[in-house]
DNA sequence: AAAACTAAGTCAGACTTGTTGACATTCCAA
DNA sequence: TTGGAATGTCAACAAGTCTGACTTAGTTTT
């Protein structure tokens, strides 16, 4: 195999390289979720609650339908999670002003505290990984992740990025 | 340290940047698993079966304990999956020659066919993402993923890489 | 104003995947 | 040879997801 770009391009799309990427993604995702999962152990909450808290923190006042679309689960599934979070006073559900059918979701102080704990743990993990890998690697990481999303998902993602910026 | 580097390093570790990375990971993982999940719809198999098939294909003859460590689930959980795969003649379980307590796992022809389908779908998705992002991005992607694994997980991962190479 | 639609929530039933606990078999070392 | 450790199996249960059918309330269309 000749040296340089051509050799790299050929090599980098072998099934072996792809499989390593697939496995790396699998193992990395475990590491990525381990922190929050561990924090939630024994609290009666799980990953589903974490995700709801995260996106409510991210875009306060979001209505249920929007959150549903982002999470990609059924309303029955989300509702169970939301019900417990509201009962525990982690999340507040306010009736929409313009459209009274809608419920807008906000974190309570208690909810924000829990969400903060979880976010801190996950951000710390992410920050350490970013530090180890360096800025150039991070840019590449983000590019590949975006390419891995399907187009519907990417819509949600970009909507969120704009909302947050 | 030059000013460019310092600026980048500071910017690139803002909470906002980290949060975007976290969300990108979440959405990308959905895209990453969607293909095989969809293929398995209605077959009675799920993601757990896919993972077992993948790693048995990857390292034929592996015993149950080893697979357990890789997958990071309890042996009871894996056993249920394995039981159905064996009953359906996707996987063959051979008693160890040296140690008769061990069961060594192999794909049957049928199992290899199914695993091939799933792998092809996932590799195609991965390949397209890699193509879109380009070789440099892929290198960065892999670096960050490795940094995201925890040390135990990375041990499994590296053991596999060596076994496969 | 009536009819049709939309947003949200609920109940019931099923499935996948994970858990813990109890147990059988096999191996090895005191 | 016997007791402990390792390996794997079976059974029961919990969490989280899904589909389907339904209610309630509010909005839009006709």
Cα–Cα distances (Å) from A84 to A74, A79, A105, A154, B114, in that order, read 16, 9, 14, 29, 40
- CA B28 – CA B8 distance, rounded (Å): 25
Q: Are A46 and A73 in contact (CB under 8 A)?
A: no
Nearest to B48 by CA among B89, B87, B76: B76
- Inform me whether the C-beta atom of residue A73 falls under 8 Å from chain B C-beta atoms: no
Contact A140 B145 (CB under 8 A): no
Average pLDDT, chain B: 90
Contact B147 A133 (CB under 8 A): yes
- CA B29 – CA A74 distance, rounded (Å): 18
Query: What confidence category does residue A155 fall into, taking pLDDT thresholds of 50, 70 and 90?
Result: confident
Most distant CA atoms of chain A, gap in Å? 67
Chain A: residue whose CA lies nearest to B9? A135
Contact B143 A134 (CB under 8 A): yes
Q: Is the per-residue pLDDT at B55 higher than 50?
A: yes
Query: Looking at residue B4, what is its pLDDT?
Result: 45
- Give the total residue count for chain A: 165
Of B57 and A7, the structure prediction assigns the larger pLDDT to B57
Chain segment A33-90, per-residue pLDDT in tens: 999 999 998 898 999 999 999 999 999 999 999 999 999 999 999 999 999 999 999 9
Return the SS3 of A45.
coil
Measuring from the CA of residue A49 to each C1', which nucleotide is nearest?
D16
- CA A45 – CA A62 distance, rounded (Å): 21
Contact B148 A20 (CB under 8 A): no
Q: Is the per-residue pLDDT at A165 higher than 80?
A: no
Query: Looking at residue A9, what is its pLDDT?
Result: 59
Interface test with A, best of B22, B24, B35, B136 (most A CBs within 10 A): B24
> Which is it for strands B91-95 and A103-107: parallel, antiparallel or unpaired?
unpaired
Range in A1-5, A115-119, B90-94, B115-119 the model is least confident about: A1-5
> Which is it for strands A103-107 and A91-95: parallel, antiparallel or unpaired?
antiparallel
Q: Is the per-residue pLDDT at A12 higher than 70?
A: no
Strand C positions within 7 A of protein Cβ atoms: 6-13, 15-22, 25-28
Q: Are A115 and B130 in contact (CB under 8 A)?
A: no
Q: Is the per-residue pLDDT at B5 higher than 80?
A: no
- The residue whose CA lies nearest the C1' of nucleotide C10 is A76
Query: What confidence category does residue B79 fall into, taking pLDDT thresholds of 50, 70 and 90?
Result: very high
Taking only residues 95 to 154 of chain A, the set having a beta carbon closer than 8 angstroms to any beta carbon of chain B reads: 119, 122-123, 125-150, 153-154
- CA A53 – CA A119 distance, rounded (Å): 10
- The residue whose CA lies nearest the C1' of nucleotide D26 is A101
Query: Looking at residue A10, what is its pLDDT?
Result: 57
Average pLDDT over residues B94-100: 92
Of B70 and A153, the structure prediction assigns the larger pLDDT to B70
Query: What confidence category does residue B153 fall into, taking pLDDT thresholds of 50, 70 and 90?
Result: confident
Query: What confidence category does residue A94 fall into, taking pLDDT thresholds of 50, 70 and 90?
Result: very high
The residue assigned the tokens 């929050």 is A36
Q: Cβ contacts of residue B24 below 8 Å, gap of 6+? A: A142, A145, A146, A149, A157
Q: Which domains does chain B have, with CATH numbers?
A: 18-164 (1.10.10.10)
Contact B146 A28 (CB under 8 A): yes
Q: Are B21 and A130 in contact (CB under 8 A)?
A: yes
């Amino acid at each position: 195999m000749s040296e340089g770009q051509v050799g790299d391009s050929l090599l980098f799309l072998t099934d072996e390289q792809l499989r390593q990427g697939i496995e790396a993604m699998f193992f990395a995702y475990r590491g990525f979720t381990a922190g929050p999962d561990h924090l939630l152990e024994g609290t009666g909450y799980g990953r589903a609650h974490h995700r709801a808290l995260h996106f409510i923190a991210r875009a306060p006042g979001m209505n249920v339908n929007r959150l549903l679309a982002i999470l990609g689960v059924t309303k029955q599934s989300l509702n169970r999670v939301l019900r417990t979070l509201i009962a525990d006073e982690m999340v507040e559900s306010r009736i929409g002003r313009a459209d009274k059918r809608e419920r807008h979701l906000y974190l309570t102080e208690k909810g924000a505290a829990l969400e903060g704990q979880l976010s801190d743990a996950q951000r710390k993990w992410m920050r350490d990984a970013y530090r180890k890998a360096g800025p150039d690697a991070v840019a590449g990481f983000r590019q590949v992740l975006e390419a891995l999303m399907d187009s519907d998902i990417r819509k949600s993602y970009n909507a969120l990025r704009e909302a947050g910026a």
